[in-house]
Amino acid sequence: MNVSGYSGDAGDSLQYEGDWDGNAKFGSYYNNRMKFTTRHRDNDNFRGNCARGRGGGWWYNACFWACLTCNRDNHQWWTVGKLANSRMMIKPQ
């Protein structure tokens, strides 16, 4: 997935590259150029499988910040918090 050109009022939870909260996880929240991870195909940069732990597939880097396909307890967009529902819209290049 290539992520660019965010616009809106929900904040960009897919491209944060810095050190969040002083926890030294530089780049762990950056989802650009990540492959989709499922329970059966682990493509994330985490030591475990993010899709199993979060309850849904996503373009994970290290299981942080965003997952709009996760189970109800992990369905979130970090800049907003837990979500009741969401809609993803993909635009071809």
Closest CA to 1 of 43, 33, 38, 44: 33
Burial of 46 from C-beta contacts in 10 A (0-12 / 13-18 / 19+) = middle
> Is 34 a member of any domain?
yes
Closest CA to 45 of 53, 56, 37: 37
Q: pTM to 2 decimals?
A: 0.77
Phi, psi (5° rounding) for residue 52?
A: -70, -45
pLDDT at 85: 77
> Is 1 a member of any domain?
no
> Is 77 a member of any domain?
yes
Q: How many domains does the chain fold into?
A: 1
> Is 4 a member of any domain?
no
Find all residues with CB under 8 Å of 14, minimum gap 6, and list them: 3, 6, 30, 31, 32, 59, 65, 66
Q: What is d(CA 58, CA 63) in angstroms, rounded to the nearest whole number?
A: 9
> Is 55 a member of any domain?
yes
> Is 52 a member of any domain?
yes
The range of the structural domain enclosing residue 41 comes to 11-93
Per-residue pLDDT of the chain (93 residues), as tens digits, is 788 777 778 778 888 778 877 888 888 778 888 999 999 999 999 999 999 999 999 999 888 888 888 887 878 788 888 877 777 777 777
pLDDT at 45: 92
> Is 6 a member of any domain?
no
pLDDT at 42: 97
> Is 5 a member of any domain?
no
